[in-house]
Structure formats: C-alpha cells, structure tokens
C-alpha cells in the first residue's frame, strides 16, 4: 500500500513540474509586441512565412514587428497614377510612402541623393526606360534599395539592370489573338452589313513600334496566328497581322498621322472583309471606335491593352457598335510584388541578383535579373465585373461593388515563366 501511495505522489510531482514549465513558456496574451531595431540572437524578430517567399505580401504576418521604413516614390508624371496603389501596399508592409514629382531627368537623380540624406530607406521610380542606367548608377553609388514601377529598367544593351515586375506582354498578345479567334464568328460578324461574306480577316496592332512592351504584344499575336492559320484549323479564317506605328508613342499618338496610316492600310487591302484592331492603350482604342464606323470601315472589334477607361464606359452602359474588349493587367495586383521586392531589399533579406531567382530569370536571353510576370486577362462586357471582383478578393481591397460571386481559383494569381 505504501508503494502505491508513494508512486502516486511521484506521479503528481512530475505532472506539477511539467505544468510549471509550460506556464513559464506561454507568452502573456495582453503584452504588447516589442520591435528591436537591431535584432540579435536573444531578441530575434519573426520572419515572414517561408512558404510565401521573399518579395510578396504575407497576409498572415504582422509587419509591425519590423522597423518602419520610409519610402520615396519619385515620378516624372504629374498624375502619379500609381500613388494610390502604392500607398495601400506601403500601409500593409508597415511603411510610410511619400510622393515626389521630378520636373526633369536630372531632378530625379538630385532628389534621390537629397532624400537618401534625409533618411529614406527605399525608392520607387516611375521614369522612362532610357533613364534607368543613370538611376541604377545613382542608387548603387548611394547604396539604396530601389524598384522601377512602369517601364523596364534596361541598359543600353537591352538587358535588365534590376529585378522587374511586368505583365507577360507576349502572352497577352497570344491571349488576345485567341480571344478574337474564339469569338469572331458569333460575336463580330453579326455587326457587319447584311449578306457580308467574310473570307479574310486582318488584325491591326496599333501602337508605338519602338516600345518593347507593345512589340512583344504584336509578337504574341503573330505566334498565335501562325498556329491558327494551319489548313487543319476549323475555328478561324485566314488572318493577316499588320503593324501600324502610332506616331510618337504618347497616350494617343499623333492623331492625324495615325488616322492617315489606318486609312491607307484599309484602302490598300480591299480583300480584307473584317478588321480587328488591337490598340496599345485606351485612348487609341476609343479613337478607333469613334472614327471608324463598322459599316463603312469593316472594323468590327477593338481590343485595348489597358481597360480602366473601358470599364467606366461599360459601367455607364455606354455602348458603341464595335465589340470592345480589354487585355487587362490590374495595377494594384502588379504593385504587390513591386513593393514586396523593395521591402525584401530594404531589409537585406536578399540581393537584387538573388530576388525571385532562378525561377524568373530569363537566362536564355542573357538576363541576370528576374522578370516577374503578373497575370493578365482578356475581358469584355460579359465578364469584367467578375474579374475586378476577383482582384479585390486576391488583394483584399474592396474597390468595386458589383456583388458577383468569385472564388480564389477563378483566375491565376501569377503566371508561369515561359519567356515567350
């Protein structure tokens, strides 16, 4: 009996010891988290979840546990189109964002040095591609983290000078061509004059031909047409791709020159029975829609590489006789890895050479920096609400109120790199 009682006492003591140890290791739920500006082995700061990966936002991580960085957004464009999107991601990464307008290329470099001296930890630039060699040199000289926003940061040799976040423009062109092919018969032809017999189709790629992004779109269209123009294809009529330079590469190009080129092309190709126009931006697309009535021109569909302006027209039910669509990349979705990449560089978690490498590095083209491709979609009046609601779901930002049901798997969150 004594042995039994003694055994019970020993067991109770062991359980008590384990309970005390567990209580000592349980943090106080009401205690405020502390942030160490210089974390060491004894005060380690939690890292973002490893399965999310560096350069992306992790909704399950508390970024207030990290130091708060101040970021400068320097733009050559007074509209600062990306400011609102960047402010959303800055807040989520627990950063402060200030916007600065630079009146000249030289002022961009001067502001960078001045703001670095004032304690700014990272820089986002909205400049033209030709300026990025100077920007990259200045940032290297100052030893600061930076990222390009809209135009590719390429050197004189055409190679990337830094990691870059971009739509898959060649893939977007291929998707646009496929969209036209799948819908040409049931959607476009009814808008032509009655009894019109369509034997040949023309696709016009209308944009600045010295713009690398738009030439990639055109290349994607050409590649897709080559596969669909095979004699065995039963879903598509013979199609020919024409490229027209929109004169000066600005938002709308030189309107008179562009119209003259379009008129000449239509007149020189009377054998083309139906025309589809793929325009580099919303302004060009709307100009074509307004200037070329279907009955007189045979232009039955206009696709814009953009879409924000088109959405407003669809919301207002402002229809024209053309079938319109948008090859669209959402800016807020694109800015997530832009700010995420900058954040990883500011924290010293990775280097520019290692960020998103090797998966997103196009080594076959001699690139040494990553070119992360974000998803795009060809959308029209029938499905644009679903896509924009999906972007809200993915980014967790409630921007639109269409009240349509979407699920996370409805669209891809990131493209797979195939570097077309």
Backbone angles phi, psi at 59, to 5 degrees: -65, -20
Task: Identify whether residues 80 and 144 lie together within a single domain.
Answer: yes
User: Which residues contact residue 172 at a Cβ distance below 8 angstroms, ignoring those fewer than 6 apart?
Assistant: 217, 220, 305, 327, 329, 376, 378
Residue 345 has pLDDT above 80, yes or no: yes
Residue 202 domain-assigned (yes or no): yes
The two three-digit tokens of residue 294, written as one number: 């279907």
Structure confidence at residue 191 (pLDDT) = 61
Q: 341 and 312 in one domain? A: no
Are 282 and 307 spatial neighbours (Cβ–Cβ below 8 Å)? yes
- Say whether both 187 and 77 belong to one domain: no
Q: Is residue 356 part of a domain?
A: yes
Task: Answer left, alpha or beta for residue 160, where phi above 0 means left and psi between -120 and 50 means alpha.
Answer: beta
Domain co-membership, 178 together with 292: yes
Q: How confident is the model over 224-253, as pLDDT tens digits?
A: 888 776 655 555 567 899 999 986 544 444
Q: Please indicate, yes or no, if residue 274 is contained in any of the structural domains.
A: yes
pLDDT of residue 78: 76
**Residue 127, domain extent:** 63-162+333-374
Question: Predicted confidence band at 254 (pLDDT cuts at 50, 70, 90)?
Answer: low
H-helix or E-strand containing 289? helix 282-291
Q: What is the pLDDT of residue 413?
A: 59
Of the two residues 366 and 194, the one the predictor is more confident about is 366
Task: State percent of the chain over pLDDT 70.
Answer: 77
Residue listed under structure tokens 């600065």: 100
In a domain, 308, yes or no: yes
Lowest-confidence region among 140-144, 157-161, 319-323: 319-323
Residue 416: pLDDT above 70?
Answer: no
Asked if residue 43 belongs to a domain, the reply is no
- 108, 149: one domain: yes
Looking at residue 401, its pLDDT comes to 87
Residue 358 maps to a domain: yes
Instruction: Average the pLDDT over 345-350 and give the result.
Output: 95
103-112 pLDDT, tens digit per residue, is: 999 999 999 9
* Dihedral over alpha carbons 352, 353, 357, 361 (to 10 degrees): 110
Q: Out of 294, 313, 328, pick the residue that ends a domain.
A: 328
Q: At what angle do helices 132-142 and 105-117 cross, to 10 degrees?
A: 20
- Residue 262, in any domain of the structure: yes
Kindly state the tokens that stand for 232. Answer: 């065995």
Q: Which residue has the higher pLDDT, 58 or 1?
A: 58
Report the DSSP pairing between strands 323-328 and 377-380.
antiparallel
pLDDT for residue 334: 93
Q: Is the pLDDT of residue 153 over 90?
A: yes
Q: How far apart are CA 137 and CA 147, in angstroms?
A: 13
Answer whether residue 3 shows pLDDT above 80: no
Q: Assess whether 224 and 192 both reside in one domain.
A: yes
Which of 22-26, 266-270, 324-328 is predicted with the least confidence, judged by mean pLDDT? Answer: 22-26
H/E segment holding residue 173: helix 169-183
What single-letter DSSP state applies at residue 34? Answer: -
Q: Are 338 and 97 in contact (CB under 8 A)?
A: no
Residues 134 and 180 in one domain: no
Give the Cα separation of 124 and 338 in Å (integer): 9
Verify that 203 and 243 share a domain, yes or no: yes
* Average pLDDT of the residues of the chain: 80
Positive/negative CA dihedral, 313, 330, 74, 247: negative
Q: How many domains does one find in the chain?
A: 2
- Output the six-digit token pair for 359: 């998966």
Whether 296 and 347 map to the same domain: the answer is no
The answer to whether the pTM exceeds 0.95 is no
For position 201, which CATH number holds?
A: 3.40.50.2300
Task: Judge if 272 and 309 occupy the same domain.
Answer: yes
Q: Are residues 346 and 214 in the same domain?
A: no
Is 394 a domain residue?
no
**Residues 268 and 311 occupy one common structural domain:** yes
């Amino acid at each position: 009996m004594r042995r039994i009682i003694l055994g019970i006492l020993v067991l109770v003591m062991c359980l008590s010891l384990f309970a005390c140890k567990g209580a000592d290791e349980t943090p106080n739920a009401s205690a405020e988290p502390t942030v160490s500006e210089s974390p060491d082995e004894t005060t380690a700061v939690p890292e973002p979840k490893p399965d999310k990966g560096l350069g992306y936002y992790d909704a399950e991580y508390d970024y207030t546990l990290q130091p708060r960085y101040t970021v400068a957004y320097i733009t050559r464009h007074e509209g600062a189109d990306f400011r609102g999107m960047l402010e959303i991601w800055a807040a989520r990464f627990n950063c402060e964002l200030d916007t600065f307008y630079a009146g000249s290329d030289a002022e961009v470099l001067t502001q960078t040095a001045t703001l670095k001296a004032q304690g700014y930890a990272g820089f986002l630039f909205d400049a033209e591609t030709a300026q990025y060699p100077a920007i990259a040199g200045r940032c290297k000289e100052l030893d600061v983290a930076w990222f390009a926003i809209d135009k590719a940061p390429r050197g004189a040799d055409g190679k990337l000078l830094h990691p870059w976040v971009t739509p898959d423009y060649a893939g977007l062109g291929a998707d646009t061509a496929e969209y036209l092919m799948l819908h040409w018969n049931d959607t476009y032809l009814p808008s032509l004059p009655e009894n019109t017999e369509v034997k040949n189709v023309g696709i016009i790629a209308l944009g600045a031909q010295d713009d690398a992004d738009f030439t990639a779109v055109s290349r994607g269209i050409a590649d897709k047409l080559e596969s669909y123009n095979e004699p065995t294809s039963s879903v598509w009529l013979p199609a020919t791709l024409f490229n027209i330079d929109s004169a000066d590469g600005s938002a709308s190009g030189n309107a008179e020159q562009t119209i003259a080129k379009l008129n000449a092309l239509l007149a020189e190709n009377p054998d083309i029975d139906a025309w589809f126009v793929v325009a580099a931006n919303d302004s060009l697309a709307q100009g074509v829609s307004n200037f070329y009535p279907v009955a007189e021109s045979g232009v039955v569909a206009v696709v814009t590489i953009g879409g924000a302006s088109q959405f407003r027209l669809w919301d207002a039910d402002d229809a024209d006789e053309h079938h319109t669509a948008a090859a669209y990349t959402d800016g807020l979705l694109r800015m997530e890895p832009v700010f995420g990449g900058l954040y990883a560089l500011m924290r010293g978690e990775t280097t520019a050479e290692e960020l998103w490498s090797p998966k997103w590095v196009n080594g076959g083209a001699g690139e040494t920096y990553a070119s992360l491709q974000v998803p795009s979609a060809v959308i029209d009046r029938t499905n644009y609400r679903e896509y924009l609601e999906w972007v809200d779901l993915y980014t967790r930002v409630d921007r639109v109120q269409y009240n349509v049901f979407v699920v996370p798997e409805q669209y891809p969150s990131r493209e797979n790199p195939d570097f077309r």
